[in-house]
């Protein structure tokens, strides 16, 4: 049985194609490496989802989630919090 990560980093994203890779990279480069990075796409209409999926293919710590309906920042955060399995949760907004 695999132990849960120490921390979960939740990144809500909506039409963030210009910034989401930088946010993911920031989470990846933290001192603490025992993390899961949960990126929640809130029904973006740009390339956000493609960028998140590509990042997840390169780093198993990245967990992409895509909402089926636009819910706004709070809903995206809540979905990420529900999926988080770390002892601590950090929001990168």
Structure tokens at 5: 């990560």
Q: What percent of the chain has pLDDT over 70?
A: 99
pTM, two decimals, is: 0.95
Q: Is 46 exposed, middle or buried (0-12, 13-18, 19+ CB in 10 A)?
A: middle
For the chain, which residues make up each domain, given as ranges?
7-91
Which of 19, 28, 23, 25 shows the shortest CA–CA distance to 46?
19
Q: For 7-91, which CATH superfamily applies?
A: Spore Coat Polysaccharide Biosynthesis Protein SpsA; Chain A (3.90.550.10)
The residues, any chain, with a CB within 8 Å of residue 82's CB and separated by 6 or more, are none
Q: What is the pLDDT of residue 3?
A: 84
- Reported residue count of the chain is 93
Categorize the per-residue pLDDT at 1 as very low, low, confident or very high, splitting at 50, 70 and 90.
low
């Amino acid at each position: 049985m695999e132990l849960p990560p120490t921390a979960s980093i939740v990144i809500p994203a909506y039409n963030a194609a210009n910034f989401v890779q930088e946010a993911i990279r920031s989470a990846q480069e933290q001192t603490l490496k025992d993390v899961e990075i949960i990126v929640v796409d809130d029904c973006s209409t740009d390339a956000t989802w493609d960028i998140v999926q590509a990042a997840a293919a390169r780093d198993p710590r990245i967990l992409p989630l895509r909402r089926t309906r636009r819910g706004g920042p709070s809903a995206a955060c809540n979905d990420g919090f529900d999926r988080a399995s770390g002892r601590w949760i950090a929001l990168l907004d």
